[in-house]
Amino acid sequence: MSAASSDSAEIATASKRPFDPYLADPSPPSKLQRFSQSDISPADADSGGEAGAESEAMAGARLSRTQRYLVAVEYDGTRFSGSQQQPNQRTVVGVLKEAFHKFIGQPVSIFCSSRTDAGVHALSNVCHVDVERISKRKPGEVLPPHDPEVVKCAVNHFLHKNEGDIMVTDVRCVAPDFHARYKALERTYHYRLLSGPERPSIFEKNSAWHIPEDLNIQAMKKACNILVGHHDFSSFRAFGCQAKSPVRTLDELTVTEVFPVMFFPSSLERSEMESPDGSLVYSRASLMGSSGEGSDVSSTTSGKSVCENGQEFGKRLRHRCFVVTARAQSFLYHQVRLMVGLLKAVGIGDLTTADVERILDAKTMTAAPPMAPAYGLYLDNVKYDPTV
């Protein structure tokens, strides 16, 4: 028996065992039957009046048994060839469709709120999928829709058996006409930058853009202020962009210095960052002291473990970590990465704020400096009407 058949049988027979939310839905079966095209006679399909009304009612009854789910997923984009399905490529939508197929036993269509390129990560990308729950023991018998938590656990069960680099984080039932892409009110992206002369840790591989030079964060903030607002962003639009208009409203573009993700405090930092009750106290002084140019002044050393330059043997200098945040209802193709590329050029002194204004006003795809690589970009959140 194949692995796929084994997984399907495992879920199908879950009702014979104690309930496991990863594998089964405890809802009692319904006796509703699926309608097929053969159930509607030619007379019903072609005639009007009462027969037509009955036909529409039957179609509506069937549609009412198909549940549309809104599904939030997070993924490490390193081994994905983007989010949209492509032939002979591993994609986010392709992997999700495979997991849903194994779960419900039939193919589904999945529509994402935001398209991400190869290498781009997502803390929360959102998609919608229609699921009709058909009994595996009695083919043709339609059962009540799965509870969202069951969908989440069951799909994750199969995703975990894949590469383990994608996970469903939330599931919600929505109306049949709800569209994950067109109903989105706002999208937020983050881009991580590591500044420092040393090569980044292997634990930071494919998670941030390393800039060997120091970054002038104040100059970058001024550049952000120029780009925020309602503009023609043709200079920040890559070839192949299918948007009808280059005009967008950029609601937020900021640069913030943050703790590195792989942050392990030294003994001095541990004493400075922890309050008497054990809660974290953010100390910018301790962060800057240990991440600035030169040596890690917060490190404890002993005479036998120190090199000539005073740096503790085996301890690496920390990089300064910056996060660029961009928020808007929608973005042009590669707009965020092109803006980050511009901010980096400003940060290292290659461009000035006057250059930023000139590039924005040029309204041409060749005006901006090279865009930032994909692996530092994260889709953080897709916002919808809270009443959904």
Residues with catalytic function: 117
Strands (E), the chain: 32-33, 66-75, 110-112, 121-132, 141-142, 166-174, 186-195, 209-211, 229-232, 247-258, 320-328, 377-383
User: How far apart, in Å, do the first and last CA atoms of the chain sit?
Assistant: 42
| Cα-based distances in Å from 337 to 30, 79, 324, 330 | 50, 19, 10, 14
Pairing label, strands 186-195, 209-211: parallel
32 burial via Cβ count (<10 Å: 0-12, 13-18, 19+): middle
What are 12's two structure tokens?
């199908």
CB atoms within 10 A of CB 5: 10
3-state secondary structure of 184: coil
* Kind and range of the H or E run holding 151: helix 148-160
- The 10 Å Cβ neighbour count of residue 239 is 8
Closest CA to 320 of 194, 191, 192, 190: 194
Burial 73-88 (b: 16+ CB within 10 A, else e): bbbbbbebbbbebeee
Element (H, E) at 99: helix 92-104
Q: Nearest 10 degrees: CA dihedral of 190, 196, 198, 202?
A: -20
Distance CA 379, CA 77 (A): 10
Residues 6+ positions from 197 with CB-CB distance below 8 Å: 212, 317
Instruction: Give the span between the Cα atoms of 151 and 169, in whole angstroms.
Output: 11
Reading the block at residue 288, the tokens are: 């800057």
Residue 67 tokens read as 């549940």
